[in-house]
Amino acid sequence: MSNSNSQNWNKPVSPETSAGFVGANPKAKQLRSRHVTMITLGGIIGASLFVGSGNVIRTVGPAAILSYLVGGLLVFLAMRMLGEMAASRPAIGSFMEYARVGLGNWAAYLVGWLYWYFWVGVLAYEAVLGGETMAGWFPAVPSWAWSLFLIALFVISNVISVRMFGEVEFWLASIKVLAIIVFLGAGLLFAFGLWPDSEASVSNLWEHGGFAPNGLGIAFTGIALVIFSYFGTEIAVMASAESEDPAKGIRHASSTIIWRILLFFVGSVLVIVTVVPWNELPAPTDVASAPFTYALERIGIPGASIIMQLVIFTAVISVLNSGLYSASRMFAALAEQGFAPRFVAKKSRNGVPIMALLASTIGGLIATLVNFVAPGSGIFDFIMNSAGLVALFVYVFIALTQWRLRQKMTSEEKAGLKLKVWVHPWLNILLILCIAAVIVVMLTTEAGRTQVWTSLVATGVLVLFWPLVRRNLAHRRSPEAHDTGSSS
């Protein structure tokens, strides 16, 4: 790996993807601050919160509050590290671009392809879930047809322009945010006995076996379950690079993510375990048994199941919309750096990476159709499980990259940082150690072991192709590439 001097930090990552580059396409900067704000909020609110939180609470008890709090703090640290890099040099490729500069081409290749693979799996999962929901409402049309319809609908919204993506995501995220705010307000009134026909129920936090009925240690094992719920926060940093004021948007997204985590995740779990005794929650097998639905019914909200079904469907299609955006941007960035076929980087007149979007859509379609055509083959399950560690891999690469790039900076460059990671590099070390601990915890359960080993298989496949990609890079390498400190 070749070393680059500190001056390389002032150079754009690439003419095509660096939003800070004077020659960057101005049409790409179409997202307004309100779009970025809602993308930041909506990126971490999905079915994993509305439904999946029930499994965590049933396993951990009221101490699930700690699980979500600690997991959220880890994600906040990763976002702070990403924010420091992105505020200095906004790039659509985000952490993949920074990994290339800080650690070398091999790191960018791995983290970029893993991230794209993750979102292709998410596209398939959300399309299947959304199709099944639509088929439940309109059974005359099969679920696979609804899945294809939803994918086509959001491909169109992404193709039109970056602004269209932002506008659609703004309204979808607004629905989710409004739903949680109403839930928090009604839940707190109920918990303190201020809701009509209610009695104070705060004691549910400790009355049914204690705050940690299964032991405090289980609360920390719960972190392995909740940390994946937060994956999606990095979308805001990627989107900020296409906004009217990239540096400001990135600083705002990175600095305010902590209170959003506290409010929407920790706050929601706190309300659930105070409104409903944790050991009364049913297994969340569908919307009707989701913890939010159960809590709303306990509060006395009429039509709770229908309301939550609509909200969760909104969350599903919101993630589908964001997934298409994230996958296409990462794929285009991979192509621009020579890690994917060159034609994939082609952009439309509106600055949309059209070929990357279509290629990502095809990947999602294949995974979706596999679920319907060969449900017993195990292929769909492998795709879902093998993306399980991507979030943890990304956080580790972010920590290592920021650590390395800070080392390359001069004292003047460090002093000029507008967003800075505290007590560097100790928080980097803490984050890496915590992620290693999460993986160890995952190995103690059958489902966790499946995710770990299938993820390693997927990573191993990428490693096998690296020599071919490296040779391709050698043919494409220019004197400018040597100046940026790229390594083979």
Distances (CA, A) of 204 to 184, 208, 317, 344: 16, 7, 34, 54
Q: How far is CA 473 from CA 27, 61, 464, in A?
A: 29, 52, 16
Nearest CA-CA partner of 77 in 430, 363, 325, 324 = 430
Contact 330, 91 (CB under 8 A): no
| Per-residue pLDDT tens over the stretch 400-440 | 999 999 998 888 888 888 888 899 899 999 999 999 988 88
- 319-353: pLDDT as tens digits: 888 889 889 989 999 998 889 998 998 988 888 89
Beta-carbon contacts of 137 under 8 Å, excluding residues fewer than 6 positions away, are: none
Assign 480 a pLDDT band (cuts: 50, 70, 90): very low
Domain spans of the chain, in order of start: 29-483
Q: Look at residue 361 in the predicted model and tell me its pLDDT.
A: 93
In this prediction, residue 2 carries a pLDDT of 37
Go through the chain and tell me how many residues it has.
488
| pLDDT, mean of residues 271-287 | 90
Select the more confidently predicted residue: 483 or 71.
71
- Tell me the mean pLDDT in the region 434-455: 86
Pull the structure tokens for residue 280: 């009364």
The CATH topology of domain 29-483 is: Amino acid/polyamine transporter I (1.20.1740)
Burial pattern 383-404, b for ≥16 Cβ within 10 A else e, equals: bbbbbbbbbbbbbbbbbbbbbb
Look up residue 50 and give its amino acid: F
Q: 91 by DSSP, 3-state: which?
A: strand
